Amino acid sequence: MGFRTIEELCADLEAKRRSSLAGGGEEAVSKQKSKGKGTARERIAALLDPGSFVELDEFVTHRCNNFGLEERKIPGDGVVTGWGTIEGRKVFIYSQDFTVFGGSLGEKHADKICKVIDMAMQNGCPVIGINDSGGARIQEGTDALNGYGKIFRRNTLASGVIPQFSVIMGPTAGGAVYSPALTDYIFMVDKESVMHITGPEVIRAVTGESVTSEELGGAATHNTITGDAHFCAKDEAECFSQIRKVLSYLPLNNLDEAPLKATNDDPQRADIELRGIVPVNPNKGYDVHEVIRRVVDDGEFVEVQAGFAKNIVTGYAHIGNRPVGIVANNADVMAGCLDINASDKASRFVRHCDAFNIPIVTFVDVPGYLPGKEQEYGGIIRKGAKLLYAYSEASVPLITVIMRKAYGGAYLAMSSKSLGADAVFAWPQAEIAVMGAEGAASIVFKKEIEGDSDPSAKRLEKIDAYREEFANPYRAAERGYVDRVIMPEETRMVVCQALDAMESKREERPAKKHGVIPH
């Protein structure tokens, strides 16, 4: 028996590569494309720098011998894995292939994902998962379930160590949704992405409710109602652009520094227009996005969860070349009150910035917590406490700008000096008090008002007196709770100065395994 030639062996290798590249076959690929969806490898190529992708485990196949699967062994087992670069920075990636067994997850499919997460952790690089899967591969039973469990554990161990992005580009159902939920950010494509635990058919059978898959778990639902997703794109190309943009603000890992961005925007720039954006009248609304854009470098702001809990704004920007996280009350929505959803949204964002050493700049204009039975029954106490916890726990530079209202416990929750803010600045119209002048005057001067011959006029007089005496930034400045009272147009300059001063911030915390955050 003679040896085969190297040409024959290489020809075999080329044939195996073609088989792997073919995925689920021409018919399955055509069906995928007819829905406007890319294939697993096309998606990787569209996201990564051209020619940078290096594939791993392209010949891995399942080892299930039940239900006819022994006759269907497809190289790759339904997921493409490897590494590449985005803007020259290394990332690890996996992309589920819906053309192979519907992208379902089996034992070896899961092993491939676990391998790239492990490699990402070992090398201190972000990991990106493109999800397009029908869920667990039923034929593999508990092996498939065990595969999910192994991925969940790795997602949890990697949390706060390396950035983890989940990209939903098709169905993601059942146990498949929990890996994305454990990662930092979920990206979805409108009318293409779906996430739900139980599908419309199961819901109809169990509860009698009739709902479409899109209504139940589409991109619009998760970006506006549930808050489970963080970004929504009109198509796959826009989604990949969003991923690249967000990644540009983040370090490769928790021991790395986030990249600086060159700008010609002068750190000393003063914008007199800021005086007119925030009304002195505390009852008038405005869009805080305009304040943010006028303070940050080049007006560029990448908002996180833009469609959810719009009464608070979170996102990334650069100030003086440095990446920062922005948290801001938005007086245009619910007067900027804190509620259950806003507290959830902001607390998670604060903790994410803290995990990856990104300074946080907080713009405050908050009248309090949203009142009402629905909020109380829904757990505003524990949800509001999450924001208090997140800011108190954060050890990155915390810079706070009080633009107008800062009332009661909500003021404390918005990165106050009491919670550990390093620098607190207030505009001249800032009102820092237990409550608004109207409510406070009605309580403090109740007897005088009721005993006056003209109670209405007396009440207005006392409101004005209270506002003049207490509802201003100077009482807080006298106590050291405000470091400086500044002109609105000085905001960019003083924030840049504070970021410079806090660049080398270090502080010791009590030794402990971990805290117990309010749920």
409 assigned to active site: yes
141 assigned to active site: no
| Partners of 185 in beta bridges | 165
Q: Are 127 and 93 in contact (CB under 8 A)?
A: yes
Q: Which of 120, 229, 346, 410 is catalytic?
A: 410
280 CB neighbour count, 10 Å cutoff: 11
The Cα–Cα gap between 335 and 2 comes to 83
> Residue 303 burial (CB < 10 Å; 0-12/13-18/19+)?
middle
Mapping DSSP to helix (H, G, I), strand (E, B) and coil, where does residue 415 land?
coil
Q: Are 463 and 441 in contact (CB under 8 A)?
A: yes
457 assigned to active site: no
* Of residues 304, 336, 134, 133, the one with CA closest to residue 223: 304
Q: Locate 376 and state its tokens.
A: 């109380």
335 CB neighbour count, 10 Å cutoff: 19
Residue with tokens 């204009």: 365
Q: Which of 24, 129, 147, 175 is catalytic?
A: 175
The Cα–Cα gap between 142 and 278 comes to 58
CA distances from 107 to 232, 327, 384, 389, 474 (A): 31, 42, 41, 39, 64
149 assigned to active site: no
Q: Which of 409, 420, 465, 477 is catalytic?
A: 409
Q: Which of 129, 174, 315, 325 is catalytic?
A: 174
| Partners of 304 in beta bridges | 314
Long-range contacts of the stretch 287-291 (C-beta < 8 A, 24+): 287/330, 287/332, 288/313, 288/328, 288/329, 288/330, 288/331, 288/332, 288/336, 288/363, 288/365, 289/313, 289/330, 291/328, 291/363, 291/403
Residues catalogued as catalytic: 174-175, 409-410
